[in-house]
Amino acid sequence: MIKQTKLRIRQIKSRLVGSTVSRNPVRRARQVEDNIGDQGWTLNRRQGADIKEYNIEIKSRDIDAISPHTVGSMTIADIIANNYENSTIFEKIQQQHRVKIQDGKVVDEYTYDFRAEYIQDLIRLSYETARAKIISGITDKYISGGEYGYFEQSTTSENSYNYRIRDSAMTKLEHMSLSTYNNLFEEK
Protein backbone atom coordinates (compact mmCIF):
# COMPACT_ATOMS: atom_id res chain seq x y z
CA MET A 1 0.00 0.00 0.00
CA ILE A 2 1.35 3.43 -0.96
CA LYS A 3 1.28 6.04 1.78
CA GLN A 4 -0.56 9.15 0.61
CA THR A 5 1.08 12.42 1.59
CA LYS A 6 -1.00 15.53 2.21
CA LEU A 7 0.74 18.63 0.90
CA ARG A 8 1.38 21.46 3.33
CA ILE A 9 2.06 25.02 2.32
CA ARG A 10 4.83 26.54 4.42
CA GLN A 11 4.91 29.99 2.84
CA ILE A 12 2.90 31.88 0.25
CA LYS A 13 5.16 33.71 -2.17
CA SER A 14 3.01 36.63 -3.23
CA ARG A 15 5.46 39.47 -3.92
CA LEU A 16 3.40 42.17 -2.19
CA VAL A 17 6.21 43.85 -0.24
CA GLY A 18 6.68 47.40 -1.52
CA SER A 19 3.23 47.66 -3.11
CA THR A 20 0.85 50.48 -2.23
CA VAL A 21 -2.52 49.59 -0.68
CA SER A 22 -5.58 51.48 0.51
CA ARG A 23 -5.51 52.98 3.99
CA ASN A 24 -9.16 51.93 4.45
CA PRO A 25 -8.98 48.54 6.26
CA VAL A 26 -11.98 47.01 4.47
CA ARG A 27 -10.85 48.11 1.00
CA ARG A 28 -7.26 47.15 1.82
CA ALA A 29 -8.25 43.61 2.88
CA ARG A 30 -10.05 43.00 -0.42
CA GLN A 31 -7.19 44.59 -2.38
CA VAL A 32 -4.59 42.32 -0.71
CA GLU A 33 -6.75 39.24 -1.34
CA ASP A 34 -7.26 40.27 -4.98
CA ASN A 35 -3.50 40.79 -5.44
CA ILE A 36 -2.80 37.30 -4.10
CA GLY A 37 -5.55 35.88 -6.33
CA ASP A 38 -4.01 37.67 -9.34
CA GLN A 39 -0.79 35.76 -8.63
CA GLY A 40 -2.49 32.41 -9.19
CA TRP A 41 -4.02 31.46 -5.81
CA THR A 42 -7.66 30.29 -5.92
CA LEU A 43 -9.62 32.45 -3.48
CA ASN A 44 -12.72 31.49 -1.53
CA ARG A 45 -15.19 34.39 -1.36
CA ARG A 46 -17.58 32.48 0.89
CA GLN A 47 -17.48 31.34 4.49
CA GLY A 48 -14.23 29.79 5.69
CA ALA A 49 -10.56 30.29 4.91
CA ASP A 50 -9.61 32.52 1.98
CA ILE A 51 -7.46 29.81 0.36
CA LYS A 52 -9.76 26.95 1.30
CA GLU A 53 -7.73 24.19 -0.35
CA TYR A 54 -4.93 24.73 2.21
CA ASN A 55 -6.91 26.33 5.08
CA ILE A 56 -4.98 29.58 4.76
CA GLU A 57 -6.63 32.82 5.83
CA ILE A 58 -5.29 36.11 4.44
CA LYS A 59 -5.06 38.96 6.95
CA SER A 60 -3.77 42.49 6.43
CA ARG A 61 -2.94 44.81 9.29
CA ASP A 62 -1.20 48.10 9.95
CA ILE A 63 1.97 47.42 11.98
CA ASP A 64 1.07 50.28 14.33
CA ALA A 65 -2.39 48.88 15.12
CA ILE A 66 -3.00 47.73 18.69
CA SER A 67 -6.67 46.82 18.41
CA PRO A 68 -7.66 43.14 18.72
CA HIS A 69 -7.36 40.91 15.64
CA THR A 70 -10.64 39.69 14.16
CA VAL A 71 -10.46 36.01 13.23
CA GLY A 72 -13.96 35.68 11.83
CA SER A 73 -17.67 36.16 12.41
CA MET A 74 -20.41 33.70 13.36
CA THR A 75 -24.11 33.92 14.07
CA ILE A 76 -25.26 33.09 17.59
CA ALA A 77 -26.96 29.94 16.24
CA ASP A 78 -23.71 28.81 14.58
CA ILE A 79 -21.71 29.44 17.76
CA ILE A 80 -24.15 27.36 19.81
CA ALA A 81 -24.26 24.55 17.21
CA ASN A 82 -20.53 24.28 16.49
CA ASN A 83 -17.72 23.26 18.78
CA TYR A 84 -14.31 24.72 17.98
CA GLU A 85 -13.24 22.05 15.47
CA ASN A 86 -16.47 22.44 13.49
CA SER A 87 -16.45 26.25 13.47
CA THR A 88 -15.32 28.67 10.79
CA ILE A 89 -13.02 30.16 13.45
CA PHE A 90 -11.09 26.86 13.52
CA GLU A 91 -10.73 26.91 9.75
CA LYS A 92 -9.59 30.56 9.72
CA ILE A 93 -6.86 30.11 12.33
CA GLN A 94 -5.00 27.07 11.10
CA GLN A 95 -2.66 29.06 8.88
CA GLN A 96 -2.71 32.79 8.25
CA HIS A 97 -0.85 34.72 5.60
CA ARG A 98 -0.37 37.99 7.46
CA VAL A 99 0.38 41.07 5.35
CA LYS A 100 1.80 43.95 7.38
CA ILE A 101 1.25 47.54 6.26
CA GLN A 102 2.88 50.85 7.19
CA ASP A 103 1.85 54.22 5.76
CA GLY A 104 -0.12 52.57 2.95
CA LYS A 105 2.72 50.28 1.83
CA VAL A 106 3.20 46.54 2.36
CA VAL A 107 6.34 46.16 4.49
CA ASP A 108 6.21 42.44 5.32
CA GLU A 109 4.25 39.27 4.66
CA TYR A 110 4.56 35.87 6.23
CA THR A 111 2.50 32.69 6.48
CA TYR A 112 2.09 31.68 10.13
CA ASP A 113 1.25 28.06 10.93
CA PHE A 114 -0.94 27.82 14.03
CA ARG A 115 -1.79 24.12 13.58
CA ALA A 116 0.45 22.83 16.39
CA GLU A 117 -1.73 21.15 19.00
CA TYR A 118 -0.37 23.25 21.87
CA ILE A 119 -1.37 26.43 19.99
CA GLN A 120 -4.77 25.04 19.03
CA ASP A 121 -5.39 24.03 22.68
CA LEU A 122 -4.99 27.66 23.78
CA ILE A 123 -7.41 28.97 21.16
CA ARG A 124 -9.86 26.08 21.68
CA LEU A 125 -10.06 26.75 25.43
CA SER A 126 -10.88 30.43 24.89
CA TYR A 127 -13.42 29.67 22.15
CA GLU A 128 -15.18 26.97 24.17
CA THR A 129 -15.22 29.09 27.35
CA ALA A 130 -16.90 31.97 25.51
CA ARG A 131 -19.18 29.58 23.62
CA ALA A 132 -20.38 28.03 26.92
CA LYS A 133 -21.37 31.51 28.11
CA ILE A 134 -23.40 32.09 24.95
CA ILE A 135 -25.05 28.67 25.31
CA SER A 136 -26.01 29.62 28.89
CA GLY A 137 -27.81 32.70 27.54
CA ILE A 138 -25.23 35.45 28.00
CA THR A 139 -25.49 37.94 25.14
CA ASP A 140 -23.29 40.81 26.36
CA LYS A 141 -21.41 43.02 23.90
CA TYR A 142 -18.16 41.29 24.92
CA ILE A 143 -18.06 37.64 25.97
CA SER A 144 -14.69 36.71 27.40
CA GLY A 145 -13.13 33.36 26.66
CA GLY A 146 -9.67 33.98 28.06
CA GLU A 147 -6.32 35.20 26.85
CA TYR A 148 -6.61 33.73 23.35
CA GLY A 149 -10.00 34.94 22.29
CA TYR A 150 -13.42 36.35 23.00
CA PHE A 151 -16.65 37.09 21.16
CA GLU A 152 -17.59 40.70 20.43
CA GLN A 153 -21.01 41.77 19.19
CA SER A 154 -20.86 42.57 15.48
CA THR A 155 -21.49 46.18 14.52
CA THR A 156 -23.23 45.07 11.31
CA SER A 157 -25.59 42.42 12.73
CA GLU A 158 -27.06 42.07 16.22
CA ASN A 159 -27.34 38.32 15.62
CA SER A 160 -23.58 37.85 15.00
CA TYR A 161 -20.37 37.94 16.97
CA ASN A 162 -16.79 38.44 15.84
CA TYR A 163 -14.18 36.17 17.39
CA ARG A 164 -11.24 38.39 18.33
CA ILE A 165 -7.78 37.93 19.83
CA ARG A 166 -6.01 40.77 21.64
CA ASP A 167 -2.91 42.10 19.88
CA SER A 168 -0.55 40.93 22.66
CA ALA A 169 -1.99 37.39 22.51
CA MET A 170 -1.74 37.29 18.69
CA THR A 171 1.90 38.36 18.96
CA LYS A 172 2.48 35.43 21.35
CA LEU A 173 0.77 33.05 18.91
CA GLU A 174 2.95 34.33 16.05
CA HIS A 175 6.09 33.76 18.13
CA MET A 176 4.92 30.27 19.12
CA SER A 177 4.32 29.40 15.46
CA LEU A 178 7.88 30.46 14.62
CA SER A 179 9.50 28.35 17.34
CA THR A 180 11.63 25.40 16.35
CA TYR A 181 9.32 23.04 18.28
CA ASN A 182 7.48 22.04 15.09
CA ASN A 183 10.79 21.31 13.34
CA LEU A 184 12.04 19.12 16.18
CA PHE A 185 8.90 17.22 17.24
CA GLU A 186 5.86 15.66 15.59
CA GLU A 187 2.66 15.42 17.62
CA LYS A 188 0.53 12.31 17.15
pLDDT digits (tens, 9 = 90+) for 11-21: 666 678 888 88
Q: Is residue 49 part of a domain?
A: yes
Q: Is residue 95 part of a domain?
A: yes
Q: Which of 15, 90, 94, 105 is nearest to 60 (CA)?
A: 105
Give whole-number Cα distances, 32 to 38, 43, 56, 96, in Å.
10, 11, 14, 13
Q: Is residue 93 part of a domain?
A: yes
- Number of structural domains (the chain) is 1
Residue 111 exposed, middle or buried by CB count within 10 Å (0-12, 13-18, 19+): buried
Q: Is residue 167 part of a domain?
A: yes
β pairing state of 95-102 and 56-62 = parallel
Domain housing 172: 25-181
What is the Cα–Cα distance from 2 to 111, expressed in whole angstroms?
30
Mean pLDDT of the chain: 88
DSSP secondary structure letter of residue 111: E
pTM of the full predicted structure?
0.85
Q: Is residue 31 part of a domain?
A: yes
Q: Is residue 120 part of a domain?
A: yes
In this prediction, residues 37-66 reach a mean pLDDT of 89
